[in-house]
Amino acid sequence: MVSKRLEVLAAVKALVQSALPHVKVIGLDGEDAAPMRVPPTGMVVVRSGDPGEPEVDLCPPVYHYTHRIPIEVSAYETTAESGEEIVDRMMGLIGGAVEANRTLGGLCDWLEPTGPNTDDIYTEAATPARGGDFDLVASYSTTSPLN
């Protein structure tokens, strides 16, 4: 049996992949490192984030989480678009996918993105890429903090 937390993370990764089918989407658990180089088509890293302390209803026990899931988007500039434009477009496509499926098919009560931050990503001996990050905040409930 997979926990609700892992189901939500898998659904978020699938949502991002469906929004950006030609982009490498990686799900990391916080202990692994993202690849050192961004693929030419761009990359999105979905980290496990922090479900935080739940609000608890006691009878029957129900645990309500507000899980912040970090999303990192990166891309190189092209001759047609700047890295900032590509990252902005990628984040917009993810935002559109979120708006179309706020409950992840009924898995959570609500999914909401936070505002993004962008910056250059410098890697030794490589062309700088542009990166952006934001959180997807998933609100969901479960009958056990371990399930």
Per-residue pLDDT at 79? 86
Of 129, 143, 1, 132, nearest to 58 by C-alpha is 143
Contact 136, 113 (CB under 8 A): yes
User: 39 pLDDT exceeds 90?
Assistant: no
In angstroms, the CA 98 to CA 113 distance is 8
Residue 93 to residues 4, 126, 128, 145, Cα–Cα distance (Å)? 25, 27, 23, 32
How many beta carbons lie within 10 A of that of residue 113, not counting itself? 16
- Give the list of residues 6+ apart from residue 35 with CB closer than 8 angstroms, or none: 26, 43
pLDDT tens, residue by residue, 113-127: 999 998 877 766 567
Per-residue pLDDT at 101? 97
Contact 21, 14 (CB under 8 A): no
User: Which of 17-21, 27-31, 72-76 reaches the highest mean pLDDT?
Assistant: 17-21
pTM of the model: 0.91
The reply to whether CATH 1.25.10.10 applies to domain 4-142 is no
Per-residue pLDDT at 29? 64
pLDDT tens, residue by residue, 91-107: 999 999 999 999 999 99
In angstroms, the CA 17 to CA 26 distance is 9
Per-residue pLDDT at 59? 86
Residue 92, token pair as written in the block: 């917009």
Mean pLDDT along residues 58-82: 93
Q: Where are the domains of the chain?
A: 4-142
How many beta carbons lie within 10 A of that of residue 79, not counting itself? 4
**Which of 28-37, 79-88, 108-117, 122-131 is least confident?**
28-37
137 band by pLDDT with thresholds 50, 70 and 90: very high
User: 10 pLDDT exceeds 90?
Assistant: yes
In angstroms, the CA 102 to CA 113 distance is 10
